[in-house]
Amino acid sequence: MIAFKPVLLWSDLLLLLLLAAIAASGAWASRQEHLRAAWARVGRSRSGMAAATLLAAFVLVGIVDSMHYRTLLPGKDGKPGAYSVEVNSALDALLAGLRNRTEKTYSAPLATHLYAKESVEGPEGSAAGREFPRLKHGGAHLGAELDRHSADVAASAFRGLALGLAAWLPLAMVFAILKRRRPGTAWEAVSATLLTLALLGGPAAALAGGYHVLGTDKVGQDVLYLTLKSIRTGLLIGTLTTLIMLPAAVLLGILAGYLGGWVDDLIQYLYTTLNSIPGVLLIAAAVLMMQVLIDTHPEAFATAADRADARLLALCAILGVTSWTGLCRLLRGETLKLREMDYVQAARAFGVGRLAIMLRHILPNVMHIVIIALVMDFSGLVLAEAVLSYVGIGVDPNTVSFGTMINAARMELAREPMVWWSLAAAFCFMFALVLSANLFSDAVRDAFDPRMSHR
Protein backbone atom coordinates (compact mmCIF):
# COMPACT_ATOMS: atom_id res chain seq x y z
CA MET A 1 0.00 0.00 0.00
CA ILE A 2 1.18 3.51 -0.78
CA ALA A 3 2.09 5.80 2.11
CA PHE A 4 -0.79 8.18 1.44
CA LYS A 5 -4.18 8.14 -0.25
CA PRO A 6 -5.26 11.20 -2.27
CA VAL A 7 -8.57 12.68 -1.17
CA LEU A 8 -10.72 14.85 -3.45
CA LEU A 9 -13.23 16.90 -1.50
CA TRP A 10 -16.18 18.49 -3.27
CA SER A 11 -14.70 21.93 -2.69
CA ASP A 12 -11.42 20.76 -4.25
CA LEU A 13 -13.31 19.50 -7.32
CA LEU A 14 -15.22 22.74 -7.71
CA LEU A 15 -12.02 24.73 -7.30
CA LEU A 16 -10.39 22.68 -10.07
CA LEU A 17 -13.42 23.27 -12.30
CA LEU A 18 -13.22 27.00 -11.61
CA LEU A 19 -9.51 27.10 -12.44
CA ALA A 20 -10.21 25.18 -15.66
CA ALA A 21 -12.98 27.64 -16.52
CA ILE A 22 -10.65 30.58 -15.89
CA ALA A 23 -7.98 28.99 -18.11
CA ALA A 24 -10.55 28.35 -20.87
CA SER A 25 -11.87 31.90 -20.56
CA GLY A 26 -8.34 33.25 -20.77
CA ALA A 27 -7.66 31.23 -23.93
CA TRP A 28 -10.89 32.50 -25.47
CA ALA A 29 -10.21 36.10 -24.44
CA SER A 30 -6.74 35.95 -26.01
CA ARG A 31 -8.41 35.44 -29.40
CA GLN A 32 -10.75 38.42 -28.96
CA GLU A 33 -9.06 41.66 -29.92
CA HIS A 34 -11.14 43.95 -27.68
CA LEU A 35 -10.68 41.70 -24.63
CA ARG A 36 -6.97 41.36 -25.32
CA ALA A 37 -6.69 45.14 -25.49
CA ALA A 38 -8.62 45.53 -22.22
CA TRP A 39 -6.39 43.06 -20.37
CA ALA A 40 -3.35 44.86 -21.82
CA ARG A 41 -4.64 48.02 -20.13
CA VAL A 42 -4.83 46.06 -16.87
CA GLY A 43 -1.22 45.03 -17.42
CA ARG A 44 -0.17 48.66 -17.75
CA SER A 45 -1.62 49.51 -14.34
CA ARG A 46 1.06 49.40 -11.64
CA SER A 47 -1.44 49.06 -8.81
CA GLY A 48 -3.37 46.41 -10.74
CA MET A 49 -0.29 44.29 -11.43
CA ALA A 50 0.97 44.64 -7.87
CA ALA A 51 -2.45 43.57 -6.55
CA ALA A 52 -2.60 40.69 -9.06
CA THR A 53 0.81 39.47 -7.86
CA LEU A 54 -0.31 39.49 -4.23
CA LEU A 55 -3.56 37.74 -5.16
CA ALA A 56 -1.55 35.11 -7.06
CA ALA A 57 0.46 34.45 -3.89
CA PHE A 58 -2.76 33.94 -1.91
CA VAL A 59 -4.17 31.68 -4.63
CA LEU A 60 -0.99 29.59 -4.63
CA VAL A 61 -1.33 29.01 -0.89
CA GLY A 62 -4.99 28.08 -1.38
CA ILE A 63 -4.21 25.60 -4.15
CA VAL A 64 -1.49 23.91 -2.10
CA ASP A 65 -3.91 23.69 0.82
CA SER A 66 -6.49 22.04 -1.48
CA MET A 67 -4.27 19.01 -2.22
CA HIS A 68 -5.66 16.62 0.38
CA TYR A 69 -4.57 13.15 1.38
CA ARG A 70 -4.85 10.55 4.15
CA THR A 71 -1.72 8.94 5.58
CA LEU A 72 -1.21 5.20 5.99
CA LEU A 73 -1.13 4.05 9.60
CA PRO A 74 1.22 1.19 10.55
CA GLY A 75 -0.41 -2.22 10.91
CA LYS A 76 -0.38 -4.34 14.06
CA ASP A 77 0.30 -8.06 14.54
CA GLY A 78 1.24 -8.54 10.91
CA LYS A 79 -1.99 -7.03 9.63
CA PRO A 80 -1.85 -4.43 6.87
CA GLY A 81 -2.20 -0.84 7.94
CA ALA A 82 -5.26 1.31 7.38
CA TYR A 83 -5.54 4.88 6.23
CA SER A 84 -6.08 7.54 8.86
CA VAL A 85 -9.46 9.23 9.12
CA GLU A 86 -7.66 12.57 9.45
CA VAL A 87 -7.45 14.43 6.15
CA ASN A 88 -4.33 16.55 5.71
CA SER A 89 -3.20 18.82 2.91
CA ALA A 90 0.06 19.52 1.16
CA LEU A 91 0.24 22.79 3.11
CA ASP A 92 0.05 20.79 6.35
CA ALA A 93 3.03 18.75 5.18
CA LEU A 94 5.00 21.88 4.24
CA LEU A 95 4.18 23.53 7.56
CA ALA A 96 4.61 20.39 9.67
CA GLY A 97 7.14 22.19 11.84
CA LEU A 98 4.58 24.85 12.75
CA ARG A 99 1.67 22.44 13.02
CA ASN A 100 3.33 19.93 15.33
CA ARG A 101 5.10 22.38 17.64
CA THR A 102 2.21 23.16 19.97
CA GLU A 103 2.56 24.79 23.36
CA LYS A 104 0.46 24.61 26.51
CA THR A 105 -1.44 27.87 25.93
CA TYR A 106 -0.86 31.50 24.96
CA SER A 107 2.57 32.81 24.10
CA ALA A 108 3.46 36.17 22.58
CA PRO A 109 5.19 36.50 19.19
CA LEU A 110 8.84 35.41 19.32
CA ALA A 111 8.52 34.67 23.05
CA THR A 112 10.43 32.07 25.04
CA HIS A 113 7.94 31.84 27.93
CA LEU A 114 4.20 31.50 28.29
CA TYR A 115 2.18 34.70 28.40
CA ALA A 116 0.66 34.18 31.86
CA LYS A 117 2.22 33.21 35.16
CA GLU A 118 1.60 29.78 36.67
CA SER A 119 2.17 28.33 40.11
CA VAL A 120 5.46 26.49 40.45
CA GLU A 121 6.08 23.76 42.99
CA GLY A 122 9.17 23.68 45.13
CA PRO A 123 11.50 20.70 45.59
CA GLU A 124 9.24 19.08 48.22
CA GLY A 125 5.92 19.87 46.58
CA SER A 126 5.46 23.16 48.38
CA ALA A 127 4.42 26.27 46.48
CA ALA A 128 7.48 28.11 45.26
CA GLY A 129 5.62 31.10 43.80
CA ARG A 130 4.39 32.08 40.38
CA GLU A 131 6.48 32.57 37.27
CA PHE A 132 6.31 32.46 33.49
CA PRO A 133 7.02 28.84 32.41
CA ARG A 134 9.40 28.16 29.52
CA LEU A 135 7.90 27.19 26.20
CA LYS A 136 8.39 23.64 25.01
CA HIS A 137 9.46 24.68 21.49
CA GLY A 138 9.70 28.47 21.25
CA GLY A 139 13.34 29.41 21.85
CA ALA A 140 14.17 25.89 23.02
CA HIS A 141 17.41 25.95 21.00
CA LEU A 142 18.69 28.72 23.29
CA GLY A 143 18.75 26.41 26.28
CA ALA A 144 19.66 28.35 29.40
CA GLU A 145 21.29 31.18 27.42
CA LEU A 146 18.22 33.40 27.37
CA ASP A 147 20.37 36.50 27.25
CA ARG A 148 21.09 35.60 23.60
CA HIS A 149 17.40 35.88 22.68
CA SER A 150 17.49 39.35 21.10
CA ALA A 151 20.72 38.65 19.24
CA ASP A 152 19.41 35.31 17.99
CA VAL A 153 16.20 36.91 16.71
CA ALA A 154 18.16 39.62 14.92
CA ALA A 155 20.57 37.10 13.38
CA SER A 156 17.74 34.86 12.20
CA ALA A 157 15.87 37.83 10.73
CA PHE A 158 19.01 39.01 8.92
CA ARG A 159 19.61 35.51 7.58
CA GLY A 160 16.01 35.39 6.36
CA LEU A 161 16.42 38.75 4.63
CA ALA A 162 19.50 37.44 2.83
CA LEU A 163 17.67 34.29 1.74
CA GLY A 164 14.69 36.34 0.57
CA LEU A 165 16.91 38.62 -1.51
CA ALA A 166 18.73 35.61 -2.96
CA ALA A 167 15.40 34.09 -4.01
CA TRP A 168 14.17 37.38 -5.49
CA LEU A 169 17.25 38.31 -7.55
CA PRO A 170 16.74 35.64 -10.29
CA LEU A 171 13.10 36.67 -10.60
CA ALA A 172 14.14 40.32 -10.83
CA MET A 173 16.42 39.51 -13.76
CA VAL A 174 13.59 37.65 -15.51
CA PHE A 175 11.26 40.62 -15.09
CA ALA A 176 13.97 42.98 -16.35
CA ILE A 177 14.19 40.93 -19.54
CA LEU A 178 10.39 40.89 -19.86
CA LYS A 179 10.34 44.67 -19.37
CA ARG A 180 12.64 45.11 -22.39
CA ARG A 181 10.62 42.74 -24.55
CA ARG A 182 7.18 43.96 -23.48
CA PRO A 183 7.66 47.52 -22.23
CA GLY A 184 3.94 48.18 -22.01
CA THR A 185 3.42 45.88 -19.02
CA ALA A 186 4.15 47.05 -15.47
CA TRP A 187 6.67 44.32 -14.71
CA GLU A 188 8.43 46.64 -12.26
CA ALA A 189 5.33 46.56 -10.04
CA VAL A 190 5.36 42.75 -10.07
CA SER A 191 9.05 42.72 -9.19
CA ALA A 192 8.59 45.24 -6.36
CA THR A 193 5.68 43.23 -4.92
CA LEU A 194 7.70 40.03 -5.00
CA LEU A 195 10.57 41.86 -3.31
CA THR A 196 8.23 42.95 -0.53
CA LEU A 197 6.95 39.39 -0.12
CA ALA A 198 10.54 38.08 -0.05
CA LEU A 199 11.59 40.63 2.57
CA LEU A 200 8.62 39.68 4.74
CA GLY A 201 8.53 35.95 4.08
CA GLY A 202 12.28 35.33 4.35
CA PRO A 203 12.65 36.50 7.96
CA ALA A 204 9.35 34.85 8.93
CA ALA A 205 10.53 31.51 7.52
CA ALA A 206 13.92 31.83 9.23
CA LEU A 207 12.40 32.75 12.59
CA ALA A 208 9.69 30.07 12.37
CA GLY A 209 12.33 27.37 12.78
CA GLY A 210 12.98 28.33 16.39
CA TYR A 211 10.12 30.59 17.47
CA HIS A 212 6.41 31.17 17.09
CA VAL A 213 6.54 34.20 14.83
CA LEU A 214 2.95 35.29 15.50
CA GLY A 215 2.60 33.63 18.89
CA THR A 216 0.23 30.83 19.90
CA ASP A 217 -3.48 30.71 20.71
CA LYS A 218 -5.40 29.36 23.71
CA VAL A 219 -4.63 25.71 22.96
CA GLY A 220 -1.03 26.40 21.97
CA GLN A 221 -1.39 26.25 18.18
CA ASP A 222 0.90 28.41 16.08
CA VAL A 223 -1.00 31.50 14.92
CA LEU A 224 1.05 31.80 11.71
CA TYR A 225 -0.02 28.28 10.73
CA LEU A 226 -3.68 29.05 11.47
CA THR A 227 -3.53 32.27 9.46
CA LEU A 228 -2.08 30.54 6.41
CA LYS A 229 -4.73 27.83 6.70
CA SER A 230 -7.44 30.51 6.73
CA ILE A 231 -6.50 31.70 3.24
CA ARG A 232 -8.09 28.69 1.51
CA THR A 233 -11.40 29.23 3.26
CA GLY A 234 -11.54 32.89 2.25
CA LEU A 235 -10.64 32.08 -1.36
CA LEU A 236 -13.24 29.30 -1.57
CA ILE A 237 -15.97 31.54 -0.21
CA GLY A 238 -15.10 34.24 -2.72
CA THR A 239 -14.67 31.99 -5.76
CA LEU A 240 -17.13 29.12 -5.31
CA THR A 241 -19.93 31.53 -4.47
CA THR A 242 -19.14 33.26 -7.75
CA LEU A 243 -19.31 29.92 -9.57
CA ILE A 244 -22.75 29.28 -8.07
CA MET A 245 -24.32 32.70 -8.65
CA LEU A 246 -22.89 33.50 -12.10
CA PRO A 247 -25.10 31.25 -14.31
CA ALA A 248 -28.34 32.40 -12.68
CA ALA A 249 -27.38 36.07 -12.77
CA VAL A 250 -26.29 36.04 -16.43
CA LEU A 251 -29.16 33.88 -17.70
CA LEU A 252 -31.97 35.62 -15.86
CA GLY A 253 -30.57 39.12 -16.40
CA ILE A 254 -30.30 38.72 -20.18
CA LEU A 255 -33.68 36.97 -20.45
CA ALA A 256 -35.41 39.70 -18.45
CA GLY A 257 -33.85 42.50 -20.47
CA TYR A 258 -34.25 41.03 -23.94
CA LEU A 259 -37.57 39.19 -23.80
CA GLY A 260 -39.40 41.66 -21.58
CA GLY A 261 -43.12 41.14 -20.96
CA TRP A 262 -44.20 38.53 -18.44
CA VAL A 263 -40.69 37.00 -18.36
CA ASP A 264 -39.28 40.33 -17.20
CA ASP A 265 -42.07 40.75 -14.65
CA LEU A 266 -41.52 37.24 -13.26
CA ILE A 267 -37.74 37.65 -12.90
CA GLN A 268 -38.13 41.09 -11.32
CA TYR A 269 -40.67 39.65 -8.88
CA LEU A 270 -38.25 36.83 -8.06
CA TYR A 271 -35.25 38.97 -7.17
CA THR A 272 -37.36 41.64 -5.51
CA THR A 273 -38.91 39.01 -3.25
CA LEU A 274 -35.51 37.49 -2.51
CA ASN A 275 -34.07 40.91 -1.64
CA SER A 276 -36.93 41.53 0.80
CA ILE A 277 -35.83 38.57 2.96
CA PRO A 278 -33.14 39.49 5.53
CA GLY A 279 -29.97 37.87 4.23
CA VAL A 280 -28.57 36.93 7.64
CA LEU A 281 -31.77 35.11 8.61
CA LEU A 282 -31.84 33.21 5.32
CA ILE A 283 -28.18 32.22 5.68
CA ALA A 284 -28.67 31.18 9.31
CA ALA A 285 -31.67 29.01 8.43
CA ALA A 286 -29.84 27.31 5.55
CA VAL A 287 -26.69 26.65 7.60
CA LEU A 288 -28.69 25.24 10.51
CA MET A 289 -30.68 22.99 8.15
CA MET A 290 -27.43 21.72 6.67
CA GLN A 291 -26.06 21.06 10.15
CA VAL A 292 -29.18 19.04 11.02
CA LEU A 293 -28.74 17.06 7.80
CA ILE A 294 -25.12 16.31 8.68
CA ASP A 295 -26.03 15.26 12.24
CA THR A 296 -28.87 12.96 11.13
CA HIS A 297 -26.91 11.28 8.31
CA PRO A 298 -23.43 10.63 9.73
CA GLU A 299 -22.94 7.64 7.41
CA ALA A 300 -22.76 10.00 4.42
CA PHE A 301 -19.66 11.75 5.79
CA ALA A 302 -16.69 9.47 6.35
CA THR A 303 -14.41 12.02 7.96
CA ALA A 304 -14.61 15.29 9.84
CA ALA A 305 -13.18 16.99 6.75
CA ASP A 306 -16.16 15.76 4.70
CA ARG A 307 -18.58 17.21 7.24
CA ALA A 308 -16.76 20.54 7.37
CA ASP A 309 -16.58 20.61 3.57
CA ALA A 310 -20.34 19.99 3.27
CA ARG A 311 -21.08 22.94 5.55
CA LEU A 312 -18.64 25.12 3.63
CA LEU A 313 -20.35 24.28 0.34
CA ALA A 314 -23.75 24.95 1.92
CA LEU A 315 -22.53 28.39 2.98
CA CYS A 316 -21.23 29.06 -0.55
CA ALA A 317 -24.56 27.96 -2.02
CA ILE A 318 -26.70 30.18 0.20
CA LEU A 319 -24.35 33.15 -0.33
CA GLY A 320 -24.67 32.55 -4.07
CA VAL A 321 -28.47 32.42 -3.83
CA THR A 322 -28.55 35.74 -1.99
CA SER A 323 -25.91 37.56 -4.06
CA TRP A 324 -26.94 36.99 -7.70
CA THR A 325 -29.67 39.63 -7.66
CA GLY A 326 -27.37 42.66 -7.95
CA LEU A 327 -25.58 41.40 -11.06
CA CYS A 328 -28.89 40.24 -12.54
CA ARG A 329 -30.33 43.75 -12.18
CA LEU A 330 -27.27 45.31 -13.82
CA LEU A 331 -27.40 42.89 -16.76
CA ARG A 332 -31.13 43.48 -17.23
CA GLY A 333 -30.58 47.22 -17.51
CA GLU A 334 -27.69 46.83 -19.95
CA THR A 335 -29.64 44.36 -22.09
CA LEU A 336 -32.60 46.75 -22.27
CA LYS A 337 -30.22 49.25 -23.86
CA LEU A 338 -28.47 46.78 -26.15
CA ARG A 339 -31.65 45.32 -27.63
CA GLU A 340 -32.43 48.72 -29.16
CA MET A 341 -29.03 49.02 -30.85
CA ASP A 342 -28.92 49.05 -34.64
CA TYR A 343 -26.99 45.79 -35.04
CA VAL A 344 -29.50 43.93 -32.86
CA GLN A 345 -32.41 45.42 -34.78
CA ALA A 346 -30.73 44.45 -38.04
CA ALA A 347 -30.21 40.87 -36.87
CA ARG A 348 -33.85 40.66 -35.86
CA ALA A 349 -34.92 42.04 -39.26
CA PHE A 350 -32.90 39.36 -41.03
CA GLY A 351 -34.78 36.68 -39.09
CA VAL A 352 -32.04 35.70 -36.63
CA GLY A 353 -33.55 33.79 -33.69
CA ARG A 354 -33.78 35.17 -30.18
CA LEU A 355 -31.32 32.65 -28.74
CA ALA A 356 -28.73 33.40 -31.42
CA ILE A 357 -29.06 37.15 -30.84
CA MET A 358 -28.62 36.76 -27.08
CA LEU A 359 -25.57 34.53 -27.53
CA ARG A 360 -23.88 36.42 -30.37
CA HIS A 361 -24.76 40.05 -29.74
CA ILE A 362 -25.97 40.50 -26.17
CA LEU A 363 -23.73 38.21 -24.09
CA PRO A 364 -20.36 39.39 -25.50
CA ASN A 365 -21.34 43.01 -24.93
CA VAL A 366 -22.24 42.55 -21.26
CA MET A 367 -19.16 40.53 -20.33
CA HIS A 368 -17.35 43.66 -19.14
CA ILE A 369 -20.07 44.13 -16.51
CA VAL A 370 -19.81 40.46 -15.50
CA ILE A 371 -16.03 40.65 -15.08
CA ILE A 372 -16.17 43.92 -13.13
CA ALA A 373 -18.95 42.70 -10.84
CA LEU A 374 -17.30 39.35 -10.10
CA VAL A 375 -13.94 40.84 -9.21
CA MET A 376 -15.52 43.53 -7.03
CA ASP A 377 -17.84 41.05 -5.26
CA PHE A 378 -14.92 38.82 -4.23
CA SER A 379 -13.74 41.07 -1.41
CA GLY A 380 -17.29 41.48 -0.12
CA LEU A 381 -17.75 37.73 0.08
CA VAL A 382 -14.47 37.29 1.98
CA LEU A 383 -15.64 39.86 4.53
CA ALA A 384 -19.08 38.23 4.66
CA GLU A 385 -17.51 34.91 5.71
CA ALA A 386 -15.61 36.63 8.50
CA VAL A 387 -18.77 38.31 9.79
CA LEU A 388 -20.91 35.16 9.56
CA SER A 389 -18.30 33.00 11.30
CA TYR A 390 -17.96 35.67 13.97
CA VAL A 391 -21.69 35.44 14.79
CA GLY A 392 -21.58 31.62 14.69
CA ILE A 393 -23.44 30.86 11.44
CA GLY A 394 -20.46 30.59 9.13
CA VAL A 395 -18.14 27.68 8.44
CA ASP A 396 -17.78 24.62 10.63
CA PRO A 397 -15.95 25.35 13.92
CA ASN A 398 -13.30 22.82 12.90
CA THR A 399 -12.60 24.78 9.72
CA VAL A 400 -9.87 27.36 10.14
CA SER A 401 -10.92 30.74 8.76
CA PHE A 402 -10.41 34.42 9.41
CA GLY A 403 -13.90 34.54 10.93
CA THR A 404 -13.29 31.71 13.39
CA MET A 405 -9.97 33.26 14.40
CA ILE A 406 -11.66 36.62 15.05
CA ASN A 407 -14.49 34.89 16.90
CA ALA A 408 -11.97 33.09 19.14
CA ALA A 409 -10.03 36.32 19.72
CA ARG A 410 -12.97 38.40 20.97
CA MET A 411 -12.74 36.91 24.47
CA GLU A 412 -8.96 37.17 24.45
CA LEU A 413 -9.19 40.95 24.21
CA ALA A 414 -11.10 41.12 27.49
CA ARG A 415 -8.56 39.17 29.55
CA GLU A 416 -5.63 40.61 31.45
CA PRO A 417 -3.04 40.69 30.07
CA MET A 418 -4.74 41.19 26.69
CA VAL A 419 -3.99 38.65 23.94
CA TRP A 420 -3.89 40.75 20.77
CA TRP A 421 -1.82 38.80 18.24
CA SER A 422 -4.50 36.34 17.00
CA LEU A 423 -6.82 39.17 16.04
CA ALA A 424 -3.97 41.23 14.60
CA ALA A 425 -2.73 38.35 12.44
CA ALA A 426 -6.20 37.55 11.07
CA PHE A 427 -6.87 41.25 10.44
CA CYS A 428 -3.57 41.86 8.62
CA PHE A 429 -3.86 38.86 6.31
CA MET A 430 -7.55 39.50 5.58
CA PHE A 431 -6.79 43.19 5.00
CA ALA A 432 -4.05 42.28 2.49
CA LEU A 433 -6.37 39.86 0.68
CA VAL A 434 -9.30 42.28 0.50
CA LEU A 435 -7.13 45.29 -0.39
CA SER A 436 -5.41 43.43 -3.23
CA ALA A 437 -8.80 42.26 -4.54
CA ASN A 438 -10.17 45.83 -4.41
CA LEU A 439 -7.14 47.33 -6.15
CA PHE A 440 -7.26 44.66 -8.85
CA SER A 441 -11.00 45.21 -9.31
CA ASP A 442 -10.36 48.95 -9.74
CA ALA A 443 -7.84 48.21 -12.49
CA VAL A 444 -10.25 45.79 -14.18
CA ARG A 445 -13.10 48.30 -13.95
CA ASP A 446 -11.00 51.07 -15.49
CA ALA A 447 -9.86 48.77 -18.30
CA PHE A 448 -13.21 47.18 -19.18
CA ASP A 449 -15.68 50.00 -18.54
CA PRO A 450 -16.54 51.47 -21.98
CA ARG A 451 -17.35 54.82 -20.35
CA MET A 452 -13.70 55.28 -19.36
CA SER A 453 -11.50 57.07 -21.84
CA HIS A 454 -8.53 54.93 -22.87
CA ARG A 455 -5.54 56.55 -24.48
Separation CA 216–CA 214 (nearest Å): 7
pLDDT at 266: 92
DSSP states of 136-205 as a string? SSTTGGGTT-GGGHHHHHHHHHHHHHHHHHHHHHHHHHHHHHHHHH-TTS-HHHHHHHHHHHHHHHHHHH
Q: What is the mean pLDDT of residues 12-30?
A: 85
Higher pLDDT, 395 or 203: 203
CATH number at residue 268: 1.10.3720.10
Top-confidence range, 19-28, 306-315, 368-377, 430-439: 430-439
8 Å CB contact between 49 and 38: no
Q: What is the mean pLDDT of residues 75-89?
A: 77
Interval 126-181: pLDDT, tens: 556 678 788 888 888 888 888 888 999 999 999 999 999 999 999 999 998 988 88
Q: Hey, how many other C-beta atoms are within 10 angstroms of the C-beta on 148? A: 14
Q: Name the residue range of residue 312's domain.
A: 1-68+83-112+220-455
Separation CA 394–CA 299 (nearest Å): 23
Q: Hey, how many other C-beta atoms are within 10 angstroms of the C-beta on 147? A: 9
pLDDT at 451: 58
Q: What is the mean pLDDT of residues 386-403?
A: 81
Judged against a pLDDT cut of 80, whether residue 433 lies above it is answered with: yes
Q: What is the mean pLDDT of residues 335-346?
A: 88
Residue 157 lies in a domain: no
Kindly list the distances between the CA atom of residue 164 and the CA atoms of 189, 227, 236, 325, 434, in Å, as whole numbers in the listed order. Answer: 17, 21, 29, 45, 25
8 Å CB contact between 148 and 169: no
Residue 242 lies in a domain: yes
Q: What is the mean pLDDT of residues 346-373?
A: 84
Q: What is the mean pLDDT of residues 288-292?
A: 82
* Counted domains in the chain: 1
Judged against a pLDDT cut of 80, whether residue 45 lies above it is answered with: yes
Weakest-pLDDT range from 120-129, 195-204, 305-314, 425-434:
120-129
Compute the mean pLDDT over every residue in the chain, rounded to the nearest whole number.
85
Query: What sign for the dihedral angle of Cα 377, 382, 383, 387?
Result: positive
Interval 235-283: pLDDT, tens: 888 888 887 888 888 999 999 988 888 888 999 898 888 888 877 788 8
8 Å CB contact between 421 and 108: yes
Q: What is the mean pLDDT of residues 394-400?
A: 82
Residue 233 lies in a domain: yes
Judged against a pLDDT cut of 90, whether residue 224 lies above it is answered with: yes
At 57, the pLDDT band (50, 70, 90 cuts) reads very high
Q: What is the mean pLDDT of residues 356-366?
A: 85
Residue 192 lies in a domain: no
Judged against a pLDDT cut of 90, whether residue 203 lies above it is answered with: yes
pLDDT at 361: 85
How crowded is the C-beta side of 164, counted as CA atoms within 13 Å?
23
Top-confidence range, 4-13, 196-205, 231-240, 253-262: 196-205
- Strand blocks (E) in 395-448: none
At 61, the pLDDT band (50, 70, 90 cuts) reads very high
Judged against a pLDDT cut of 70, whether residue 371 lies above it is answered with: yes
- Strand blocks (E) in 32-175: 68-71, 88-89, 118-121, 127-131
At 116, the pLDDT band (50, 70, 90 cuts) reads confident
As a whole-number percent, the residues of the chain with pLDDT over 70 amount to 95
pLDDT at 78: 66
Residue 59 lies in a domain: yes
As a whole-number percent, the residues of the chain with pLDDT over 90 amount to 21
Judged against a pLDDT cut of 70, whether residue 453 lies above it is answered with: no
pLDDT at 450: 60
Residue 61 lies in a domain: yes
Residue 133 lies in a domain: no
pLDDT at 128: 61
DSSP 135: P
Residue 374 lies in a domain: yes
